Amino acid sequence: MGIAAKRRDSALSYTMIDRRRFNQLLAVLTAGASFGQVHRALAAAPARPLIMLDAGHGGVDPGAIGVVGTYEKNIALPTVLELARQLEATRRFRITLTRRDDVFIPLEGRVARARAANADLFLSIHADALPSRAERGASVYTLSEKASDRLAAAMAASENSADRFAGIKLSHDPVVNGILFDLARRQTSNLSIRLAGDVVNHLRQHVVMLPNSHRAANFVVLKAPDIPSALVEIGCLSNRTEERDLRRPSYRTEIARALTRSINQYFDTIT
């Protein structure tokens, strides 16, 4: 690895380690904390990383519907529950879920829950439906205001249709808002891209992947400016074979295993 790459990786690791400290410091400062409180916040040992897992859709929103009538929401939730079980078994992470049963949660509510929990990572699990029933495979999305291709744009429009995103304010000062938002978004975008690369590399060892497996689109649930985020479409319910696979618990366990390995690798490389 060249000197420039090493410096880039070191800077990325530094910003990720300090993100939690930055959030702690911002909280105590805005609360009018004393110097001693600020010092204690900076000196506190960081907790285990908190991962927010999001099972797509739910309740009145079934998501995509498969060839034989499988609801996306009923594939996403058990996959998330299995992934949570595997991640908890590592004893390396703290895990929280946006939903644990069949309930509807607005898209902005999912982001808000992740930010309120001060999550270190947000992973949203889905299963998609494509125009061609012959196509199959998993894919991973990170946030971009401009979609990487037409399929990515259509997928984002479909996933975002449940509700709208109200926006995030970090401060009462619009100038401070702009500065903090820009800094956080740039750092978060770089980390999200790294996460997506790890997810793609591990998923392809277990399941079929769509061409151009890492894509970018304007997904509402990826818009937290300070939390690295990715959305994983674990397969295509519009493909009869893949729908059958996704209905099998053993297949979803393999997907969860790949995602667990990718998350472990992600944190290995940034800390």
Which positions ≥6 away from 78 have C-beta within 8 Å?
249, 252
Strands (E), 61-160: 94-97, 121-128, 138-143
Identify residue 95 by its one-letter amino acid code: I
Q: What is the pLDDT of residue 225?
A: 81
Share of the chain above pLDDT 90, in %: 60
Residue 152 has pLDDT above 50, yes or no: no
Q: How far is CA 7 from CA 14, 68, 78, 93, 113, in A?
A: 10, 51, 40, 27, 34
Q: How many CA atoms lie within 13 A of 141 on its CB side?
A: 32
pLDDT higher for 113 or 12? 113
Write out pLDDT tens, residues 222-264: 888 889 999 999 999 999 999 999 999 999 999 999 999 999 9
Of 271, 213, 233, nearest to 48 by C-alpha is 271
Band (32; pLDDT cuts 50, 70, 90): low
Q: What is the pTM of this model?
A: 0.75
Write out pLDDT tens, residues 5-26: 444 444 444 344 455 555 555 5
Tokens representing 229 are 């985020």
pLDDT higher for 15 or 120? 120
Q: Which structural domains are found in the chain, ordered by start?
A: 1-46 (no CATH), 49-270 (3.40.630.40)
Q: What is the pLDDT of residue 132?
A: 94
Q: Do residues 214 and 253 touch, judged by C-beta distance below 8 A?
A: no
N residues, the chain: 271
